[in-house]
Amino acid sequence: MTTLPMSPAPLRPRDLRPDRTWALVGYSALTAALLIFLRDVIADGPLRLLQPVLFGAFLLSLLFAYQWRAAAWAKTLVYALGIVFVLPFMGRANTSYFDLVIQMMIFAALALGLNIVVGLAGLLDLGYIAFFAVGAYLWGVFGSPQYGDITGNAAFAAGVNPALFWLFIPLAVAAAAFVGILIGLPVLKLKGDYLAIVTLGLGEVIRIFANNLEVTNGPQGIDGIESAPVPWLNTLAGNLGFAEDQYRLFFLYILVLFVIGIVILVNYRLDRSKLGRSWIAIREDEVAAQAMGVPLLRTKLLAFASGASFAGAMGVIFAAKQAFIDPKSFDYFQSIGVLSMVILGGMGNIPGVMLGAVVVTMLNLMVLPTLSEVLQGSFPNINQNLDPSKYQRLIFGLVLVFMMLYRPEGLLPSERRKAEMHEHEHGGPAPDSLSADNRLQEGDGTAYSPGLSTIKENERTGSER
């Protein structure tokens, strides 16, 4: 019996990056200590400008734990330090930190959902915030006194039982996915700018419905939205020193951590699945993908439905957190903002998209408002037209312009995207196996690529022989 020779297993490339285990631990400990022990010092006056600086420096430690080469125990320690200790401690001392972190994770989930549509499938959707509105209004109507006003039933004067909050999260996922399919069916034959304009219009249609329907209370919005009661978590929050009015944010912080974990896991699985490869194939070349057997309509609809489902789930959490929603919270500027997070962070890359969401949210909710408050406190007679918060879109537009000029692939791009954006810097695309340039000189002979190996074996034609 003849045994066929086994080819050796391919060797994994060695990680040549320097080990930064202790640098990571030291940086994380230093920034955490500065943020905690200086919290009262930087609470008032011009020193408030140090709040976004120290908070941003601490958040960088979480990014470094992902990027740097370090021992697994060090990375685990850094994440545990930040998520379990530092962020809850800062949220207890100042509720605005809790609010900011929850907003960051909500927008990170939105950006991850839009990344499926734009980053993987290459479908430019400018009405994505409509799916967010579907989830928010679904719980907003039923989880508030608005439901009692609609039904006229005194038993629902405060809305449905708040314990049904858990049921409405999967309902919002299904409802948003269904709306995504309804929006996708008539528009997915369009491409590029036409698709962007139509999705923008359909997104505005949903906002206008919310602005005019009686069930949504029109432009006045819905207030008094409840959250799920979790007695044991409230007891835990009380034992940890949280005030009673902070129980709600503490619960939402734990909930959004759990949901964002599921969203990241689903994104990673989709990215590495057959469906994810189909999305990438459609993005690269739709005609070639169809020729290879990829069903275009079904695959595109799955991209719309998958991205919309994340937005629907986060819409329920957003409504519970805000306790008030109105149509202004879901205008097309919000869709543009989420799209900017995807582009800024690194289209198609899950960590990059999350980084973009954190940067944009922190700029909008912490950096510019803090700068405005310090300027108004230091110079009471300053012209109101110089308020930095009024130039939020201008500042962010300039950031995007500079990003497109100097780092078009994003802050934390995928390797594929980085190679695409810098293709011209290497003299064109990488040579393929049939290119005459893909030859390796070995001594005085020539080693051809596999695609040209037959030429080496028999260089003369029959007539030449």
Alpha helices in 295-384 (DSSP H): 296-322, 332-345, 350-362, 368-378
Confidence category of residue 445, pLDDT binned at 50, 70, 90: very low
Q: What is the structure's pLDDT at 13? A: 59
Q: What is the structure's pLDDT at 361? A: 92
How high is the mean pLDDT of the chain?
A: 83
Q: What is the structure's pLDDT at 358? A: 93
Greater model confidence, 155 or 65: 65
Confidence category of residue 458, pLDDT binned at 50, 70, 90: very low
d(CA 132, CA 135): 5
φ, ψ dihedrals at 120, nearest 5°: -95, -50
CA distances from 54 to 37, 86, 128, 157, 367 (A): 11, 12, 33, 45, 11
Confidence category of residue 431, pLDDT binned at 50, 70, 90: very low
Q: What is the structure's pLDDT at 442? A: 40
pLDDT over 50 (residue 461): no
Average pLDDT over residues 301-327: 92
Strand (E) or helix (H) holding 222: strand 222-223
* Domain range list for the chain: 19-93, 96-334
Q: What is the structure's pLDDT at 123? A: 87
228-271 pLDDT, tens digit each: 888 999 899 999 888 888 899 999 999 999 999 999 999 999 88
182-195 pLDDT, tens digit each: 888 888 778 778 88
Average pLDDT over residues 424-450: 44
Confidence category of residue 410, pLDDT binned at 50, 70, 90: confident
User: Tokens 């996915």 appear where?
Assistant: 177
Confidence category of residue 156, pLDDT binned at 50, 70, 90: confident
CB contact at 8 A, 338 and 203: no
Tokens encoding 233: 């978590």
331-386 pLDDT, tens digit each: 888 888 898 999 898 888 888 999 999 999 999 989 888 888 888 887 777 777 77
Q: What is the structure's pLDDT at 6? A: 54
Q: What is the structure's pLDDT at 183? A: 83
Average pLDDT over residues 387-393: 81
Name the burial class of residue 175, with classes exposed (0-12), middle (13-18) and buried (19+) by CB atoms within 10 angstroms of its CB: buried
From 29-43, 325-339, 385-399, the region with the lowest mean pLDDT: 385-399
CA distances from 241 to 87, 137, 235, 236, 248 (A): 14, 33, 10, 9, 14
User: Tokens 């929603």 appear where?
Assistant: 325
pLDDT over 50 (residue 59): yes
205-228 pLDDT, tens digit each: 888 988 898 888 888 989 989 888
Name the burial class of residue 11, with classes exposed (0-12), middle (13-18) and buried (19+) by CB atoms within 10 angstroms of its CB: exposed
Taking Cα atoms as reference points, which of 277, 421, 278, 269 lies closest to residue 343? 421
